[in-house]
Amino acid sequence: MSVVAFTSAATRAGLTSPRGATPTRARSLDRRGHRAKPPIPTSRDRGRRRSVVAEGKKGLFDEMLDVMEGGPKLRKWYGQDSSVGAPGEQRVGDGGVSAVAEPTPDEEEELREWDKKPRRGTLVAGAETALGEAIIMQLIVAKQPVVALGISPDTAASRYGPYVVAVEDPASAANALRRGCRAVICCGDSGVVPAAVVADGKVKHAVLVSSAANGGGGLLGGIFGGDDGRRADPAREEAFRSIASATVPVTIARPARIRAGMGGKPIVFGQKGPGGGEVSLEDAAEVCVRCLGAPPKPGEVLEFDFANGPGAAGAKRDWKGLFGSLDAN
């Protein structure tokens, strides 16, 4: 009786575990001296385990990278390990190596830290467009640091994970360039981008994505021609031609009418004026990224049109031969 009374009083006082809690070491043996069986998992325990397993599943972005790269080796390269920190941590780009973001007193101090690092990245102006998204994906697959101009950091994080630094305000192109950019691909409104490239003085190549589609250009072309018409505005091309200098070569690429869909079909280049035909969104993005590897000489402007050519998809493309057939002016 005294033992029972003591146990009840201790339980009421909170000194011992209530019924259903994890048994103590003294209770781990039954009356015969054998170790007691472990408790049967409850539905709550099983649900907790299911949630842990669910948290380990691939995200949509990881699955897209697997498809584009033909397997998980790209994610292995980026490193789901200590090199990129724990899952869920916020990161900032640092010229090719991800790091955990730390608060900075002001933007200017952050930019001064960027100025100390070598420039390896590419600024994508017009990141909010469909072509801008496709170009960013191509750059990520090519393992190139990316700064996206025109989307918020939250949007960039949800679409691309830790692989993209975002600058939302298009008028902040100068500050965006200072975040490690040595090249520019502009597929949206040119805005202040040409002037920012000149003022920066460290950009080594500027690529403008224009349009060879029959959108009319100008105001009406921008209204009725969609993104193709807006890119065909002659004022955009003139603004980029004017910045070609001894340090900034300029490439103007004019895709044919862009259609949604996967790429892989043959590509044809031309320099005899606006052409016809179509090009898939994925192929257009790849050509724009390939321009970075074939810049004209400093001070020159390389202009060309391109479209999908006849033939089946899957054949290896001769990029060296395609760009070698072009003449800069």
Indicate the domain borders of the chain. Answer: 106-324
According to DSSP, the residues that pair with 306 across neighbouring strands are 255, 269
Does domain 106-324 match CATH 3.40.50.300?
Answer: no
Return the CA Rg of the chain. 29
State what percent of residues in the chain have pLDDT above 70.
Answer: 64
> Please, what's the b/e burial string for 227-253 (b: 16 or more CB within 10 A of its CB; e: otherwise)?
bbbbbbbeebbebbeebbeebbbbbbb
Strand 164-167 with 267-270, pairing:
unpaired
Per residue in 259-302, pLDDT tens? 998 899 999 999 976 567 999 999 999 999 999 999 999 999 99
Q: Confidence class of residue 246 from pLDDT cuts 50, 70 and 90?
A: confident
Q: Which tokens belong to 91? A: 């990161």
Indicate the average pLDDT of the chain: 77
**At 174, is the secondary structure helix, strand, or coil?**
helix
Dihedral, 78, 82, 88, 92 alpha carbons, nearest 10: -60
Q: Is the dihedral of CA 21, 27, 29, 32 positive or negative?
A: negative
Residue 109 pLDDT greater than 80, yes or no: yes
**What pLDDT is stored for residue 92 in this prediction?**
42
Helix (H, G, I), strand (E, B) or coil at 253: strand
The residue length of the chain stands at: 329
Per residue in 45-87, pLDDT tens?
Answer: 555 555 544 455 556 666 666 656 555 544 444 444 333 334 4
Q: What is the pTM of this model?
A: 0.67
